[in-house]
Amino acid sequence: MNIENKLLKLSSLEGLVLKLNQDGKQVFAPVKKDNIVNFAPVSAFHEMTQDYIVTARSAKFVVFPRVETILEMQFSKDNITLKDKDLSSIPDAVLLGTRPCDAAGFKVLTSIFEGDYIDNIYVTRLKKTTIISISCNNYDAKCFCTSVNVHPGGTAGSDILLTRIDNDNFLAEIVTEKGKEIVNKFDTLFDIAPDVNKDSLVANVPVEFDLSAILGKIYPRFESDIWVEQSLRCIGCGTCAYVCPTCGCFDIQDVSDGHNGQRKRSWDSCGFDLFTLHSSGHNPRNTQSKRWRQRILHKFVYVPEQDNILGCVGCGRCSRACSVDMNLKEHLINLIGELTK
Amino acid sequence: MSDFQPKIVAFVCTWCTYAGADLAGTSRIKYEPNVKIIRFPCTGRIDYMFLIKAFANGADGVIVSGCHPNDCHYVSGNFHARRRWIVFRELVDFLGMDVNRLCFSWVSAAEGAQWAKIVNSFTEEIRQLGPYKAYMELVKKDKNESVF
Amino acid sequence: MEKPRIGVYVCWCGTNIAKMVDVEAVAEEIKNVPNVVVSRNYKYMCSDPGQDMIINDIKEFKLNRIVVSACSPRIHEITFRKTLKKAELNPYLFQMANIREHDSWVHTDRAEATKKAKALVTAAINRINYHEPLKELSVDINPATLIIGGGISGITAALEIADADKKVYMIEKSNKLGGYTADIDLTYPHLSSVQQMLGPMIERMKKNKNIDLFLETEIKEITGYIGNFETIITPKNDNETKLSFGNIVVSIGLRSWDPSPLENYGYGKFPDVITSVEFEKMLLSGNIAKKDGSIPKNIAIIHCVGSRNKNYHEYCSRTCCTVALKYANQLRSAFPNASIYELFADMRTMSKGCEELYTITSRKKVVFMMFDQENDLPGIRKANINDNCEMIIELNEKRSRKFVEVPADMVILMVAMEGREMVKEVAQITGVSLDGNKLFIEKHPKLDPVATTTSGVYTVGSCQGPKSIPDSVSQARAAVARILGTIARGTAQVAGTTAHININICCGCQMCISVCPYSAISFDAEKNVSVINEILCQGCGTCVALCRPNAIDIWGCSNRQMTAELTALLLSD
Amino acid sequence: MNEQNIYMPYLMRIETVRDEAPFVKTFRLKFINEEILNRFTFKTGQFGEYSAIGEGESTFCIASSPTLKGYIECTFRQTGKVTNALAMKGEDDVIGFRGPYGNFFPIHEWKNKNLLFIAGGIALPPLRSVIWNCLDLRNDYKDVTIIYGAKTVDELIYKHELKTWDERSDVKLVTTVDPGNETPEWKGKIGFVPTVLDEVAPSSENTVAIVCGPPIMIKYTFPVLEKLGFTSENIFTTLENRMKCGFGKCGRCNVGKVFVCKDGPVFTYKQLKELPQEY
Amino acid sequence: MDSIRKRARELLEKNTVKVVIGYGVGSDNTVRAIFVRRPEGVEELIFDETCVQNLAVYLLKNEIKQIGKLCIIANISALRTILQLASEHQIHEEELLCLSVTPNGELLEFTGFKDIENYISSCNRDLPDKESEMIKKLEKMSVDERWQFWMNHLSRCIKCYACRSACPMCYCTRCQVEYNQPQWITVEATLMGNFEWQITRTMHLAGRCVNCGECARACPEDIPINLLNYKTVLTVKEKYNISAGTNANIDSVMSSFESDDKENFIR
Ligand SMILES: Cc1cc2nc3c(=O)[nH]c(=O)nc-3n(C[C@H](O)[C@H](O)[C@H](O)COP(=O)(O)OP(=O)(O)OC[C@H]3O[C@@H](n4cnc5c(N)ncnc54)[C@H](O)[C@@H]3O)c2cc1C
Ligand SMILES: Cc1cc2nc3c(=O)[nH]c(=O)nc-3n(C[C@H](O)[C@H](O)[C@H](O)COP(=O)(O)OP(=O)(O)OC[C@H]3O[C@@H](n4cnc5c(N)ncnc54)[C@H](O)[C@@H]3O)c2cc1C
Ligand code: SF4
Ligand code: SF4
Ligand code: SF4
Ligand code: SF4
Ligand code: SF4
Ligand code: SF4
């Protein structure tokens, strides 16, 4: 679909949020609480904060909740019944205020959850979610989107992308049919777009490293000492994966009280020792350095090779959340240093 | 008195309180039927996890009971248990759990009547407190876990 | 593991359970619990036909788990474990639900009691899914025996064991053997001389090479377990000695109660109000006289002093009534013309020949008067000069309902017998529990009255409950039979319910080592993990609850079993 | 329904339970749904996710031959939550199964070759499936040799089938137990699998070797095979990395770039040599 | 700072230690842990009041232990952690060397655990004011208010267990939350699971927590879980007069007892 441009007034957003909610859609937007900004359900636009670079946690939970019942079961003395997930119970949602990196992150998740085995739960959630992103006009030292081919004004993954023109107005780029549906439904809120140079409106995030110096070059360094070197500080807490918009690893567990039960999928992290531990006690990734390597390779080698998409969108969340200052951008830069040695 | 019938489980040691409850039986002392006993070798064995699991499975109150100090069949199990209870009780109180729903007691093999008394009074106390709704909220929230 | 095939047996216990619990409904509903193959109810599960029913079902339905819902496991767990053994099923694949002591006997609403029974049985069933066959370990038995207390029961046991050519260590706190028996003149019912019996026994004790006698010695601590106990003693005038032994007999007897608190009897106030024990000594010395040396003309014997009295000792001291009759007879022989009064509450003369002694005594011009022990005890006051006696006992005679004043020059109080001063310490050292009366608790009040819950430790004689000499002697012999049996086998089985450590999980913090009261845990420095000695472990489970990573679990009371029981109990409630 | 939710297992009824060795059992499983029963197919070497419903899922290979219709078998050892729960199931009980997943042994490429199967301990199940599959197509293959070892005599699994193979004139079976663990009646060899392999020294001429066993056994077996002249592309094995989903989403089982669940579990030694040591 | 660098350089040059665990400059002018293995590297070492991370968490990390004998630049929390870990037999005197700096800039080198004990006994081990006040405030609340407070916080917990990874006392080979037969703690990050997890974490740290605050600092959801631990620190101090990390040779609070431990709730 060709991208169509509109004008959306800041004042119209109030109405938009209200109407979306009235329409039965759950609206998630960045909300500031105790000085951290995270996506939370909002019923009115003013609950949303404007003061954020990116949220602490990514927005992935809307399509890939931290815990999801994937099927249910019932037990009687001699019988077991399985109940499929009721996909129709998944609500319509709108994500407002995602950044272009966040939106791009959904593409990565999708590449994991689709493929030859299609995870319909994810797919349905995504289908029912409209993503209205806002371009970045600011960035911080942890951001490195432009180094991984994501643009602070990029439309990939968004259904609508808003870019701030001035204090009162947004440029609204209608990227997908889903976005268009919203515009059509609430057309009174949208105006004709002015002619603007979008690039001048978004942040100018410097390119910090040359991606091509990494791509295709890390895998041969599988046994390099650099992994140990970089990860000595890492305490294996897994936080990076939990906040990351593209980490999709999960665990499946059953809970049951003997009468009823659910099979649940929940977030997991390759940073954990237990993630790959065999019941025999053998563990193929038994040190933190191997697990750190897995994280980098997963994003920069395995996902790109399998799905033709880079596994990291440069949002920098992992680095911000890490309590021991494992800075991904810095690590990538010195990785390049090592590779070019 | 409300007609709410609380669910109460009692974790007791086999040597003192279980025997005490047996004595209450042989003495035909009558008491409320709400308390159901689970027998452990010693109070030292009673992991605080069992207490949490009791509430998670819908208990309105929990009794933990064993031998009086210096009377432990295993010499010191009850002393260790007491330390654990003190810390546990303070902690869950701090977390906002209702510690009135926890009853710790010493009941010896000879105190059948004392057992009956504890059961009756604790049952009544819990009946006054009503069902442990706050904790059930936790459980319920899990069951219909939010979609997001 | 195999698929559990559970047999559930709900017992009526005659009407004991069936009256208050709808046992049929329970057995019926239980059929719906997963893995239950057979569910039955029966009048007496512990009876032979009851047990045979289980054995047959095990064979016929290939049952591999048995739940009996009946009385307290403290009574019949062992019985049914043996039943399982007979059916060649591991005895630990068994669980009891207590619907008698904890249900039918204590509740009054049949519907509620039935509901509770269902919950208890369901919990037991759910739990038994996770029972595992356990191995009982066998330990070697040191053939020596330690006996604590050299009264008639201790002496009997010692001689019996020594005669079988096995070593005995006898620890006696006082400076002589014999206990109370050494102070008794004649014994009821036939008034034969006690000392003629006891003297030769003590002589044999002294001569027997198999017996090491330690007088004026006390035990401070015992370590070890059945077959392998140890202690260090410091006998008077002697060096520290280390003793090793395989079994322990506790026979420390009882002591007589000091009746001063019962002020109405004036003990301590009137010089001629004396206790039975004091009188017995008088008899033994052959000189019955008042404190001033004169002969008493009026003698009253008051029963149940401090016994059968809610404020002091609720239990009956058992021998006093007959002893009192014995005194009346001995007094009559000594003073053919004296007035002898027996003031009793109830006349309890059980045992062979004792009721006859009562008949004989009553024909000897002994005046029997009854008082109301519960509400109206006799009182003693000093007599007036013209009363012609020292004291007047006032009482409301219960049968005639008349107020009576009994003249007395000497009053013998038949005092209660109570636990010895050191009984708590002895109980703790030997690992045996005391009941509220400071009497040792037996393993089973009816079926195993000399053994205790600690294997290798037996309690005999009056310390287990007031009793006569023949009863004390029988108990001693019963215990010896058990001990000699174990010694002959050379090994004993210790329960399989011990703790065990998963060395893949243990992080070597060694916290468990500091909590184990039996020093059963040690540290394997090479593997950096703790290890449990299964024989030393008594299965208290303190280490289990302490170990943070749950590296320790305990057979027979595992986290899995207990949680299964707990969840089912609450969910079916 | 199952087509929609990739996590939805099929329900299967346990037809028989067989104790193989201490803590090892074999289930024969039959699909409850007739339609699935009729259309279900798999290839030897593939695996599935078996669930003790309410307790969780576990990964086992399908241990029976695809030539047998109407049921599948799995053999598992009790090691944890799910396998312990499965072990408590009996005949007529229902469990869950989803699969088949993964690649398979290219047995059609092995036509007219000699087959050498080498297995250790509880790793016989995946080989059992191939062995029977090949024996059912016996004429397609030349010599069939099976070398199987376990720690103790008791721990040898499929004892009755070992007997059948032993009795067949068209199969050469060599069994062995670790030194010191033989019983008085033991008639097989005594020694570790790689050593026994060296002794038996089957010819590598026109032969493929299929090896399955604990990592340590594999590590010592490969060099012996190479010494005997086997080329790495003629040596096959299966890997067992931990996995949850079975289809490349949960992120656990990858060995470098390859996913054991999708690209494996069957690998040639040649492939393994190119992979990092992450198994 | 210079004295630290000088001493570290000596130690590395003489090969007395293989690695110095210390503080260095991190991204955006923050402080991070660094691992100095070559004498030249000591120039990166810094030490000032911003160096709050408890570096003792690295003492038990395999990759670091493998390097060889360690030297750690320890703040008070780290020193206390070392004593507590020693009392739990997790580290041994000969395995490490500790350097520290007093508030007035004096370099301290500890030759053994006794040394550390002496120093610690003179240091302030109190809880930080902010947390102390918060605990007091919470204690004054009604039970329901406290419950609400924690439910609001714990509902955010995503069960990442960063609090566990960051805690130097959480060194178990296998954490109880991973114990699954039975499943003690509800696996998923639901309110129940989160609540049970925090009870367990706190109970397991009772009498062992050295109030370093790493747990809360690590929590990506900013849940003040350290308050729970601090509460037990207070309980243990008040009831048993013990503070963790002051003695390398005592039984931990939960594995010992006094026969007259005071309480007022047992019937
Ligand atoms: C006044 C009186 C008259 C009685 N008359 C009769 C009668 O006529 N006929 C009859 O059958 N029964 C009679 N009895 C009962 C009889 O005395 C008891 O049955 C008998 O004494 C019980 O013997 P025993 O060995 O169990 O205990 P005891 O005789 O009490 O002996 C216990 C021994 O243990 C020792 N001991 C105590 N503590 C320790 C310790 N810590 N360490 C080491 N040693 C210790 C004591 O010094 C004592 O020697 C009478 C009792 C009384 C009080
Ligand atoms: C392709 C493949 C084929 C296998 N075939 C067999 C077989 O035929 N027979 C057999 O006995 N075992 C087989 N295994 C190993 C088997 O999956 C594990 O032993 C089993 O899952 C342990 O499960 P648990 O839940 O009882 O143990 P827990 O230790 O409680 O494990 C918990 C979870 O971890 C997972 N897990 C733990 N260890 C492993 C492991 N080594 N591999 C995979 N997942 C693990 C389980 O799926 C489970 O969900 C195979 C594994 C793979 C990957
Ligand atoms: S990089 Fe940081 S956030 Fe990620 S696991 Fe390591 S310590 Fe935790
Ligand atoms: S790896 Fe880090 S920077 Fe990359 S997408 Fe994930 S959180 Fe963002
Ligand atoms: S308490 Fe547990 S972890 Fe610690 S040494 Fe004992 S068994 Fe090991
Ligand atoms: S269960 Fe009790 S006796 Fe056994 S090892 Fe543990 S603490 Fe010691
Ligand atoms: S619980 Fe928190 S404050 Fe206490 S030692 Fe661990 S990380 Fe530090
Ligand atoms: S660090 Fe925070 S979010 Fe993570 S498990 Fe701990 S409390 Fe929960």
Task: Kindly state the tokens that stand for A181.
Answer: 């549906």
Region C551-564 average pLDDT: 96
Say how many domains are in chain B: 1
DSSP C331-342: HHHH-TTSEEEE
Q: Is the CB of A313 under 6 A from ligand 4?
A: yes
Please name the residue of chain C whose CA is at the shortest distance from the CA of residue B110: C436
Average predicted confidence (pLDDT) for chain C: 94
Predicted confidence at residue D216, as pLDDT, reads 86
Query: What residue owns the CA closest to ligand 3's atom 8?
Result: A237
Q: Is D1 a residue whose pLDDT tops 80?
A: no
Inter-CA distances, E145 with A7, B34, B100, D245, Å: 47, 29, 16, 42
Q: Is the CB of A29 under 6 A from ligand 4?
A: no
Tell if the CB–CB gap between E261 and B82 is shorter than 8 Å.
Answer: yes
Region C151-163 average pLDDT: 97
Cβ contact C113:C107 at 8 Å? yes
Q: Where are the beta strands (DSSP E) in C421-526?
A: 457-459, 491-494, 499-501, 521-524
E117 in the same domain as E133: no
Cβ contact A222:A293 at 8 Å? yes
Percent of chain C clearing pLDDT 90 (strictly above): 86
Tell if the CB–CB gap between A90 and B147 is shorter than 8 Å.
Answer: yes
Before C189, cis peptide (omega within 30)?
yes
Predicted confidence at residue B148, as pLDDT, reads 45
Q: Is the CB of E225 under 6 A from ligand 8?
A: yes
Question: How far, in Å, is the centroid of ligand 5 from the Cα of C487?
Answer: 36
E47 in the same domain as E93: yes
Task: Kindly state the tokens that stand for D268.
Answer: 């040639």
> What's the distance, CA E74 to chain centroid?
12
Tell if the CB–CB gap between E63 and A231 is shorter than 8 Å.
Answer: yes
Q: Partners for D (CB, 8 Å, 3+ pairs)?
A: A, C, E
> Does the CB of B144 have a partner CB in chain A at under 8 Å?
no
E201 in the same domain as E98: no
ipTM higher than the 0.95 cut: no
Average predicted confidence (pLDDT) for chain B: 91
Task: Kindly state the tokens that stand for C357.
Answer: 């002694």
CATH (domain of E179): 1.10.1060
Average predicted confidence (pLDDT) for chain A: 92
Q: Identify from E177, E178, E181, E188 which residue to disrupt to test chain D contact, counting D C-beta atoms within 10 A and taking the largest count.
A: E181
The whole-angstrom separation of Cα C464 and Cα C479 is 12
E232 in the same domain as E145: yes
Predicted confidence at residue B142, as pLDDT, reads 58
E226 in the same domain as E150: yes
Helix (H) or strand (E) holding B55: helix B48-56
Task: Identify the architecture of domain C6-133 in CATH.
Answer: 3-Layer(aba) Sandwich (3.40)
pLDDT digits (tens, 9 = 90+) for B33-59: 999 999 999 999 999 999 999 999 999
Task: Kindly state the tokens that stand for C365.
Answer: 């011009």
For chain A positions 242-261, those within 8 Å of chain C (CB to CB) are 257-259
Tell if the CB–CB gap between A65 and B57 is shorter than 8 Å.
Answer: no
Domain that holds residue E107: 2-121
Nearest to B105 among E139, E190, E267 (CB): E267
- The ligand with the least distance to the CA atom of A145 is 4
Name all residues whose Cβ lies below 6 A of ligand 7: E 166-167, 169, 205, 209-215, 226, 229
pLDDT digits (tens, 9 = 90+) for C467-482: 999 999 999 999 999 9
Which among C278, C275, C277 has a CA at the least distance from the CA of C301? C275
B120 inside domain: yes
Region A83-88 average pLDDT: 91
Tell if the CB–CB gap between D89 and C3 is shorter than 8 Å.
Answer: yes
Before D265, cis peptide (omega within 30)?
yes
Range with the poorest average pLDDT among A10-14, B102-106, D5-9, E186-190: E186-190
B147 inside domain: no
The fold of the C145-253+420-492 domain, in CATH, is FAD/NAD(P)-binding domain (3.50.50)
Provide the pLDDT confidence category of residue B2 given band limits of 50, 70 and 90: low
Q: Is C515 a residue whose pLDDT tops 80?
A: yes
CATH of domain C495-555: 3.30.70.20
Q: Mind listing the domains of chain D with CATH numbers?
A: 10-101 (2.40.30.10), 107-238 (3.40.50.80)
Ligand 5 pocket mutation, candidates C542, C544, C550, C552, criterion most atoms within 8 A of CB: C552
Class of domain C256-417: alpha beta
E133 in the same domain as E238: yes
Predicted confidence at residue C128, as pLDDT, reads 97
Q: Is D180 helix (H, G, I), strand (E, B) or coil?
A: coil
Q: Is D2 a residue whose pLDDT tops 60?
A: no
Per CB-CB distance under 8 Å, the chain A contacts of D240 are 278
Say how many domains are in chain E: 2
E93 in the same domain as E140: no
Tell if the CB–CB gap between A239 and E220 is shorter than 8 Å.
Answer: yes
Average predicted confidence (pLDDT) for chain D: 92
Domain that holds residue B30: 8-142
Cβ contact C42:C12 at 8 Å? yes
Choose the final residue of a domain: E121, E137, E160. E121
Q: Would you call C469 exposed, middle or buried from its count of C-beta atoms within 10 A (0-12, 13-18, 19+)?
A: buried
Q: Is D3 a residue whose pLDDT tops 60?
A: no
Please name the residue of chain D whose CA is at the shortest distance from the CA of residue C128: D88
E229 in the same domain as E150: yes
Tell if the CB–CB gap between A34 and E222 is shorter than 8 Å.
Answer: yes
Question: How far, in Å, is the centroid of ligand 2 from the Cα of D83?
Answer: 8
> Does the CB of C4 have a partner CB in chain D at under 8 Å?
yes
Region D249-277 average pLDDT: 92
3-state percent helix, strand, coil for chain C, nearest multiple of 5:
30, 25, 40
* Beta carbons within 8 Å of E81's beta carbon, 6+ residues apart: E54, E56, E57, E59, E168, E169, E210, E212, E245
Interface contacts (D, E; CB < 8 Å):
6
Question: How far, in Å, is the centroid of ligand 4 from the Cα of A320?
Answer: 10
Q: Is C443 helix (H, G, I), strand (E, B) or coil?
A: coil
Task: Kindly state the tokens that stand for E27.
Answer: 């991204």
> Does the CB of A230 have a partner CB in chain E at under 8 Å?
no
Inter-CA distances, B109 with B15, B24, C317, C487, Å: 7, 9, 21, 31
Nearest to C544 among B16, B45, B67 (CB): B45
Q: Is B143 a residue whose pLDDT tops 70?
A: no
Q: Partners for B (CB, 8 Å, 3+ pairs)?
A: A, C, E
Residue whose tokens read 């003695």: E247
E89 inside domain: yes
Handedness of CA D228, D233, D239, D241 (dihedral sign): positive
Tell if the CB–CB gap between C571 and B71 is shorter than 8 Å.
Answer: no
Tell if the CB–CB gap between D56 and A254 is shorter than 8 Å.
Answer: yes
Q: Is C446 a residue whose pLDDT tops 90?
A: no
pLDDT digits (tens, 9 = 90+) for E91-129: 999 889 999 998 888 899 998 999 999 999 988 888 999
Name all residues whose Cβ lies below 6 A of ligand 2: A 278-280; D 47, 56-61, 63, 75-77, 79-83, 122, 125, 240-243, 265; E 180
Nearest to D80 among A112, A248, A279 (CB): A279
Predicted confidence at residue B70, as pLDDT, reads 80
Provide the pLDDT confidence category of residue B141 given band limits of 50, 70 and 90: low
Average predicted confidence (pLDDT) for chain E: 92
Provide the pLDDT confidence category of residue A259 given band limits of 50, 70 and 90: confident
Nearest to A257 among C32, C504, C567 (CB): C567
Q: Where are the beta strands (DSSP E) in C217-258?
A: 222-225, 228-233, 241-245, 247-250, 254-256
pLDDT digits (tens, 9 = 90+) for A194-243: 888 888 899 999 999 999 988 888 998 899 899 999 999 999 999 999 99
Q: Is A280 a residue whose pLDDT tops 90?
A: no
Query: What residue owns the CA closest to ligand 5's atom 4?
Result: C509
Cβ contact D94:A79 at 8 Å? yes
Query: What residue owns the CA closest to ligand 8's atom 7?
Result: E157
Tell if the CB–CB gap between A278 and D4 is shorter than 8 Å.
Answer: no
E257 inside domain: no
CATH (domain of B21): 3.40.50
Query: How far D90 CA sits from the closest chain C CA (Å)?
Result: 5
pLDDT digits (tens, 9 = 90+) for A90-102: 999 999 999 999 9
